[in-house]
Amino acid sequence: MRVAVVGAGIVGVCAASYLQRDGHDVVLIDRGEPGDGCSKGNAGALSPGSCIPMSAPGVLRNVPRWLLDPSGPLHIRPAYLPRAIPWLARFAAAGRARHIDSLADALRALHRDTFDNYAPLAGNAGCIDLIRRTGSLAVFKTAASLAGSQREWEIRAVRQVRQQRLEESEVRDLVPGLGAEYRHGILLPDHGFVANPHRLTRALADAFVGDGGTLRRDHVLGIDMESVDAVWLRLDGGDLAAERCIIAAGAWSARLLALLGIRVPLETQRGYHVMVADPNVAPPLPVVSADAKVYATPMEHGLRFAGTVEFAGLDAEPDYRRAQALVPLAKEMFPDLRIESATQWMGHRPCLPDSLPIIGAAPGHPALILAFGHGHHGLTGASTTGRLVADLVAGRPPAVDLAPYRADRF
Ligand SMILES: Cc1cc2nc3c(=O)[nH]c(=O)nc-3n(C[C@H](O)[C@H](O)[C@H](O)COP(=O)(O)OP(=O)(O)OC[C@H]3O[C@@H](n4cnc5c(N)ncnc54)[C@H](O)[C@@H]3O)c2cc1C
């Protein structure tokens, strides 16, 4: 079957790779190079135990404080506020206590097998070295802040996420050079990271092409649904017909669907990183400052500090003051760090209000399969999403119950 995949971020590349393994004739389309969108500069964490919705009560109660702090993890550009308010209202509603358990179950189901589902793809692409099962460490400055996250650890524990409380001396032994203010730690031994998310996405795309897939660099301008079994894509460089089409265009997916009259509440939560190419400190695993919500990840090409959420839409220029705000936090985490020459980056997290992606057929269009909205955990969720998309196209029972991710839930 001819299958078109729109978007060569990590989600689209994983979907294309799994579809190819099923023997389909797959065309992967991106207006840029594979992996140059949000999948390029993320924190790299692979978090099978991530199951806390972004709007969980413990998160929401911090929002006013974060908004007042210019270097805090959350910023809303004043001019964008009127557009963000309806989405934020839905976001807050999704955080009501009665929703948390079902959202946490769905997040856990999507993330649990991330390593297993990357293994065949990365093995085939010759880049399994990028995927590291080191564990990850959340660090806290005060007993009060550790206690404040208690509910999150309970949600994880109920879902069999292994987590281990570390004493101050154990934290120091594990991460030499960590700032003395960080006194408490929780180790997630089954977590890990990708040592270069950009190279991973590109290597998987290269293997896809090497195995006979077509990578087309082109801009999808429109989609026509010819029948229940045919999709017509309008591209800059000429049209393309396919029997199935996967929309994996990350934060831009809603714009494509709007052309078909399908509305989804997809918002971009812009995130930033600063990257120190030749760091003089080397944590052996990703370390996340639970208070500042900043990851420090030891990439193969430097130490990356990533985080922050900015609401400013898809079209506004990056505000690199948000990246610069990460520098003092990096110095706080690693006081000896020399950070004179850091590079910076901004990416668009594709976010739906309930923190779950959409995975499934578009309402009324069985040939159009949606796979976007993975938010803060898209690198983690991409490998399983790729498998699920292939299951849907093949008509196999999916490895994960897809009901929580359906498009018409909003
Ligand atoms: C600062 C930061 C830190 C993060 N840290 C982590 C982390 O530690 N762990 C984790 O699991 N996740 C993390 N994430 C989230 C993760 O990066 C994203 O969820 C994921 O990369 C989304 O992948 P994607 O393939 O859906 O989108 P993208 O990578 O953005 O890919 C979408 C692609 O679609 C293409 N496209 C769009 N429209 C069109 C069109 N009309 N025609 C052709 N092509 C089109 C774009 O060019 C782009 O290449 C982080 C994100 C940020 C910003």
Residues 76-92 have pLDDT tens digits of: 988 898 999 999 999 98
| Ligand 1 atom, smallest distance to 306 CA | 1
Average pLDDT rounded to a whole number, residues 147-153: 92
CA of 393 to the centre of ligand 1 (A): 22
Question: Can you tell me the distance from the alpha carbon of 270 to that of 346, in angstroms, rounded to the nearest whole number?
Answer: 7
Q: Which two tokens stand for residue 80?
A: 């964008």
Residue 99: predicted pLDDT: 87
CA dihedral sign of residues 57, 63, 65, 69: positive
For the Cβ of 279 lying below 6 angstroms from any atom of ligand 1, the answer is: no
For the Cβ of 33 lying below 6 angstroms from any atom of ligand 1, the answer is: no
Residue 203: predicted pLDDT: 98
Question: Can you tell me the distance from the alpha carbon of 357 to that of 379, in angstroms, rounded to the nearest whole number?
Answer: 12
Q: How far apart are the first and last CA of the chain?
A: 31
Average pLDDT rounded to a whole number, residues 354-378: 97
**pTM: predicted TM-score of the whole model, two decimal places:** 0.97
pLDDT tier for residue 64 given thresholds of 50, 70 and 90 = confident
For the Cβ of 373 lying below 6 angstroms from any atom of ligand 1, the answer is: no
Q: Which two tokens stand for residue 339?
A: 């950070």
Residue 58: predicted pLDDT: 67
For the Cβ of 322 lying below 6 angstroms from any atom of ligand 1, the answer is: no
Residues 22-57 have pLDDT tens digits of: 999 999 999 999 999 999 999 999 999 999 998 876
Neighbours of 334 (CB within 10 A): 24
CA of 389 to the centre of ligand 1 (A): 17
State yes or no: pLDDT of 102 exceeds 90. yes
Neighbours of 174 (CB within 10 A): 18
State yes or no: pLDDT of 73 exceeds 90. no
